[in-house]
């Protein structure tokens, strides 16, 4: 099972240029809003047409500008969960799900699949309701049921949990993760939420201003985001311009420090990033005097703002996050950071 | 009392609103997909009869379809004569009522959530199914409103109708031209009766619309 995407599309001033390949499992498309994630899904589904390029799933070419191939969305057998779920408002839950089953000609078989899918998603009892009469979480599952009923060869979920409150979101993420595992088909999930990406996706393509290439293992992307945008989107709070000093050393002029790294530093380095929980008063490495400038309470941790003694006024405060009980221990005169937590960025 | 004007008005309104219903939806559906510049131009042309005085529309119809005009002469070869015939009234009513159907249907289609069509396509539903079973029902309220407005407009048409088909009792007379003729010839009692008939029809149409709307709301679709 594999999905191949290499497309370009110009929409106004926006240039989409995305290339990636997957082989099985759940792939995340992570990017800020307006970065071209949804447009990518629409091109794969066939409801938008790329200007150039090629899209193929399991050896079936969906789109190939050179060979003039462009399958209709109806021929692609791709399940697409829209951000607003796109349930048909004038139809009942049952009728909505049956829309996904119209390829099945045998009526008893169709009823059987309908039952199965409603059971699987915990929807029995809602068959005769309309979308406006059920909750947001139920709507999401009806939309998922409608898609899964047609047994698509590829599943695409566009910000699937965006419209739900955080408690429900967590629950449905767990449920969906299990469901996707059982379904076992290629899945693309569009998200701008790092937790969601981390929980659901085995690999991630990072999309920045319409450009996206190469799927990375989720853990790798979080450990080594490589670009400023990716660092921000994976939740990194401390990012500053830097220059390469040696194979394992960078200088951050605005912080007035030099940091040793565990990752080799390549030419073309433009910045470094460090996560808020990476700094500690105990570390012997990369240890520099700091002063604390403020703090902010979070539900289960405290964010301490600090500056290096040598830091330029042009550079914003750095963030340190510690568990609440360690708050006072952290307020010492110097902080260090392990070389493996210093992340070199190249864009 | 000769009820011909009632029969004539109803058949003209019914036929022309049926024609306008499909023509308006068709035009609205395809106009929404045109490039912007062309859409703007088409929009002006298609909406013009709404803002022109009906007599001006009638004038243009006479210029086109008059007995001594090229198009009129051409059509006469096929036995079609739009001036001074009852079915000429259909033409007049169509021209005047069309923009109402077109405008309201276009508004409804433009507010239609595109992702509904997209998801229907990815589910493998045919384009015909998407149009008749999804787009039309979802846009139903706007389309119904357009149909009612165009029927009412066709029924009440006076200006273009009187220019094109005139008033011939038992041949081209409609309710609205009859009211004017009766009043002009000092037949107040007869004019009053036709006014009351017209009022009754209009009230019935409005009641029907309200009932339909209520049913639509109860069905929970929006």
Residue B218: predicted pLDDT? 60
Which chain B positions have a beta carbon within 8 Å of A45's beta carbon? 118, 121-122
Instruction: Return the structure tokens found at A219.
Output: 């853990």
The CA distance from A153 to the nearest CA of chain B, in Å, is 12
Residue B36: predicted pLDDT? 85
User: Do the Cβ atoms of A46 and A63 come closer than 8 Å?
Assistant: yes
Q: What is the mean pLDDT of chain B?
A: 90
Q: What whole-number distance in Å separates Cα of residue A207 and Cα of residue A229?
A: 9
The alpha carbon of residue B111 and the mean position of all alpha carbons in its chain are separated, in whole angstroms, by 22
The alpha carbon of residue A192 and the mean position of all alpha carbons in its chain are separated, in whole angstroms, by 5
Which chain B positions have a beta carbon within 8 Å of A88's beta carbon? 116, 120, 134, 138
Confidence of residue A233 (pLDDT cuts 50, 70, 90): confident
The reply to whether B46 touches chain A by the CB within 8 Å rule is no
Higher pLDDT, A171 or B182: B182
User: Do the Cβ atoms of A62 and A46 come closer than 8 Å?
Assistant: yes
| Average pLDDT over every residue of A274-287 | 90
Instruction: Read off the pLDDT of residues A151-177 as tens digits, 9 standing for 90 and up.
Output: 899 999 999 888 788 888 888 888 888
The reply to whether B116 touches chain A by the CB within 8 Å rule is yes
Residue A71 has pLDDT above 70, yes or no: yes
CATH class of the region A3-225: alpha beta
Are B113 and A84 within 8 A, CB to CB? yes
Instruction: Read off the pLDDT of residues A104-153 as tens digits, 9 standing for 90 and up.
Output: 788 899 999 999 999 888 888 999 999 999 999 899 999 999 999 988 99
How buried is residue A181: exposed, middle or buried, by Cβ count under 10 Å (0-12/13-18/19+)?
A: exposed
Residue of A138, A101, A98 lying closest to A122 (CA atoms):
A138
Confidence of residue B216 (pLDDT cuts 50, 70, 90): low
The CA distance from B216 to the nearest CA of chain A, in Å, is 10
Instruction: Return the structure tokens found at B141.
Output: 């309220």
Q: In which residue ranges of chain A is CATH 3.40.50.300 found?
A: 3-225
Instruction: Read off the pLDDT of residues B1-51 as tens digits, 9 standing for 90 and up.
Output: 789 999 999 999 999 999 999 999 999 988 878 888 888 898 899 999 999
User: Do the Cβ atoms of A342 and A261 come closer than 8 Å?
Assistant: yes
DSSP state of A264: P
User: Do the Cβ atoms of A125 and A156 come closer than 8 Å?
Assistant: no
CATH 3.40.630.30 applies to domain B4-218: no
Chain B: residue whose CA lies nearest to A74: B124
Are B122 and A99 within 8 A, CB to CB? no
Residue A24 has pLDDT above 90, yes or no: no
User: Do the Cβ atoms of B20 and B97 come closer than 8 Å?
Assistant: yes
Which chain A positions have a beta carbon within 8 Å of B138's beta carbon? 88-90
Least confident among A70-84, A275-289, B199-213: B199-213
Q: Give the mutation candidate from A86, A134, A157 for the B interface (greatest B CB count, under 10 A).
A: A86
SS (H, E, C) A194-244: HHHHHHHCCEEEEEECCEEECCEEHHHHHHCCCCHHHHHHCCCCEEEECEE
Higher pLDDT, A29 or A213: A29
A271 bridge partner residues: A241, A345
Q: Is residue B9 within a helix (H) or strand (E), and if so which, with residue range?
A: helix B4-31
Confidence of residue A217 (pLDDT cuts 50, 70, 90): confident
Residue A209: predicted pLDDT? 79
Q: Give the mutation candidate from B112, B114, B120, B123 for the A interface (greatest A CB count, under 10 A).
A: B123
Residue A195: predicted pLDDT? 86
Are B123 and A150 within 8 A, CB to CB? yes
Q: Which of A79, A84, A88 faces B122 most closely, judged by CB atoms? A: A79
The CA distance from B133 to the nearest CA of chain A, in Å, is 9
Higher pLDDT, A325 or B52: B52
User: Greatest CA separation found in chain A?
Assistant: 75
Residue B125 has pLDDT above 70, yes or no: yes
Residue A104: predicted pLDDT? 79
Confidence of residue A218 (pLDDT cuts 50, 70, 90): confident
Q: What whole-number distance in Å separates Cα of residue A141 and Cα of residue A85?
A: 9
What are the domain boundaries of chain B? Answer: 4-218
The CA distance from A205 to the nearest CA of chain B, in Å, is 23
Question: What percent of chain A shows pLDDT beyond 90?
Answer: 55
Are B124 and A102 within 8 A, CB to CB? yes
Q: How far is CA B37 from CA A215, B31, B34, B41, B136, in A?
A: 42, 11, 8, 6, 26
Whether this prediction's pTM lies above 0.95 is answered by no
Instruction: Return the structure tokens found at A260.
Output: 């040793």
Residue B222 has pLDDT above 50, yes or no: no
Are A78 and B221 within 8 A, CB to CB? no
Confidence of residue B126 (pLDDT cuts 50, 70, 90): very high
Instruction: Read off the pLDDT of residues B107-121 as tens digits, 9 standing for 90 and up.
Output: 899 889 999 999 999
Residues 6+ apart with CB under 8 A from B140: A90, B216, B221
Edge-to-edge strands, sheet with A257-260: A243-246, A249-252, A257-260
The reply to whether B219 touches chain A by the CB within 8 Å rule is yes
CA dihedral sign of residues B4, B10, B11, B13 = positive
Which chain B positions have a beta carbon within 8 Å of A90's beta carbon? 134, 137-138, 140, 219, 221
Q: Which of B123, B126, B137 faces A146 most closely, judged by CB atoms? A: B123
Are A88 and B118 within 8 A, CB to CB? no
The CA distance from A178 to the nearest CA of chain B, in Å, is 23
Question: What percent of chain B shows pLDDT beyond 70?
Answer: 97
Least confident among A2-6, A229-233, B99-103: A229-233
Q: Give the mutation candidate from A12, A78, A89 for the B interface (greatest B CB count, under 10 A).
A: A89
């Amino acid at each position: 099972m594999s999905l191949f995407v290499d497309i370009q599309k110009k929409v106004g001033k926006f240039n989409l240029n995305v290339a990636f390949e997957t082989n099985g499992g759940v792939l995340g498309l992570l990017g800020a809003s307006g970065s071209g994630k949804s447009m990518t899904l629409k091109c794969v589904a066939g409801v938008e047409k790329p200007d150039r390029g090629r899209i193929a799933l399991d050896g079936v070419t969906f789109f190939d500008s050179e060979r003039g191939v462009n399958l209709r969305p109806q021929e692609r057998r791709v399940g697409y969960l829209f951000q607003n779920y796109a349930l048909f408002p004038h139809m009942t839950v049952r009728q909505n799900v049956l829309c996904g089953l119209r390829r099945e000609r045998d009526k008893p078989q169709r009823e059987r699949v309908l039952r199965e899918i409603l059971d699987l998603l915990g929807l029995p009892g809602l068959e005769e309701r309309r979308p406006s009469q059920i909750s947001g979480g139920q709507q999401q599952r009806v939309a998922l049921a409608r898609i899964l009923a047609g047994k698509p060869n590829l599943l695409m979920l566009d910000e699937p949990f965006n419209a739900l409150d955080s408690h429900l979101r967590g629950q449905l993420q767990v449920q969906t993760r299990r469901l996707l595992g059982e379904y076992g088909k290629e899945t693309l999930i569009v998200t701008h939420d790092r937790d969601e990406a981390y929980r659901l996706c085995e690999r991630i393509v990072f999309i920045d201003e319409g450009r996206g290439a190469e799927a990375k293992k989720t853990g790798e992307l979080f450990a080594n985001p490589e670009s400023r945008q990716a660092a921000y989107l994976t939740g990194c709070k401390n990012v500053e311009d830097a220059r390469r000093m040696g194979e394992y050393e960078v200088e951050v002029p605005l912080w007035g420090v030099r940091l040793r790294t565990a990752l080799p530093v390549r030419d073309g380095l433009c910045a470094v990033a460090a996560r808020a929980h990476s700094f500690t008063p105990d570390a012997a490495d990369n240890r520099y005097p700091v002063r604390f400038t403020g703090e902010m309470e979070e539900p289960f941790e405290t964010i301490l703002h600090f500056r290096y003694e040598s830091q330029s006024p042009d550079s914003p405060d750095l963030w340190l996050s510690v568990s609440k009980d360690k708050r006072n221990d952290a307020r010492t005169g110097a902080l260090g950071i392990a070389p493996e937590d210093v992340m070199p960025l190249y864009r | 009392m000769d009820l011909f004007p009632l029969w004539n008005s109803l058949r003209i309104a019914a036929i022309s609103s049926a024609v306008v219903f499909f023509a308006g939806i068709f035009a609205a559906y395809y106009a929404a997909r045109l490039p912007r510049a062309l859409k703007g131009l088409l929009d002006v042309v298609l909406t013009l009869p709404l803002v022109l005085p009906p007599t001006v529309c009638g004038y243009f119809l006479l210029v086109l379809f008059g007995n001594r005009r090229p198009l009129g002469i051409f059509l006469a070869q096929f036995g079609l004569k739009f001036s001074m015939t009852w079915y000429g009234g259909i033409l007049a009513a169509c021209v005047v009522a069309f923009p109402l159907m077109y405008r309201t249907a276009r508004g409804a289609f433009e507010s239609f959530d595109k992702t509904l069509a997209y998801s229907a396509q990815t589910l493998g539903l045919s384009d015909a199914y998407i149009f008749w079973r999804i787009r039309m029902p979802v846009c139903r309220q706007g389309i119904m409103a357009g149909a009612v407005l165009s029927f009412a407009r066709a029924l009440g048409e006076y200006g273009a109708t009187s220019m094109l088909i005139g008033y011939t009792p038992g041949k081209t007379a409609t309710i609205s031209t009859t009211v004017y003729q009766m009043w002009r010839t000092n037949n107040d009692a007869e004019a009053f009766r036709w006014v009351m008939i017209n009022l009754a029809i209009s009230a019935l149409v409005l009641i029907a619309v309200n009932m339909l709307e209520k049913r639509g709301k109860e069905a929970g679709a929006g």
